Amino acid sequence: MRFNRTFPMPGIRKVDVKVHYYPLEDAVALQYRMDMINYYQFWSHNGREVFRKALEAYKADYEERNLDRRDRQSRRKYGIANGYIMWFTHAFSVRAFSGTDLELGYLFEDGSPYFTVNQKPVEHYDDHLNESRTLQIMTTYFTRAQADELAALFDEDFLEAVIPARSVPNSTTVDVDEY
């Protein structure tokens, strides 16, 4: 994945991303570190479906040459997914978290179109510390191949196949408190 940042160096930077699946919550988390901050961007089942449909619409527009550099709405042309973000500086620091809107669209950078996920600014207020932390807008840039790779990881059949059978509770493995 690539991110566009203005500080400390402007331009798009490549960042390695780990993908985690949490079957009990049915959430996929994209974990990455940038500018000394750790991020976890969580995608629900519905969010992953919005991503996959948006990618298909983008690829169709790409093939038909319907991508317009001057389109002011291109950043969110293919929809908005509800997401959840958690960020922190190191393992022992206080974690900030918030729900967020993830706009799906495209942008041109250096003459090339990229499929994008535009994370809206979010704010976390910590009652214990009596302070607020703001996470600025973050745009993730994908080539079509990178977006296809992530969409494959978002596929429900793939996710079900990677879950060990004993890790998903059913009515016989869940203890119920009876009173």
Tell me how far CA of residue 137 lies from CA of 1, 103, 123, in angstroms: 16, 11, 11
Query: pLDDT above 70 covers what percent of the chain?
Result: 79
Q: Does 123 fall in a domain?
A: yes
User: Is 173 domain-assigned?
Assistant: no
Domain total for the chain? Answer: 1
Is the confidence at residue 170, as pLDDT, over 80?
no
Q: Which domain holds residue 138?
A: 2-162
Asked whether residue 176 is assigned to any structural domain, the reply reads no
pLDDT at 175: 63
> To the nearest whole number, what is the mean pLDDT of the chain?
84
Digit-coded pLDDT (tens) for 29-73: 999 988 888 899 999 999 999 999 999 999 999 999 999 999 989
- Cβ(124)–Cβ(97) below 8 Å: yes
Answer yes or no: is pLDDT of 2 > 90.
Answer: no
| Mean pLDDT in residue range 69-85 | 93
Residue 128 resides in a domain: yes
Q: Which residue has the tokens 């302070």?
A: 131
What distance in Å separates the CA atoms of residue 98 and residue 83, rounded to the nearest whole number?
A: 9
Token representation of residue 165: 């059978």
Cβ atoms of 137 and 119 closer than 8 Å: yes
**pLDDT at residue 178 above 90?**
no
The pTM (predicted TM-score) of the whole model is 0.81
Q: What is the Cα–Cα distance from 118 to 96, expressed in whole angstroms?
A: 19
Residue 66 domain flag: yes
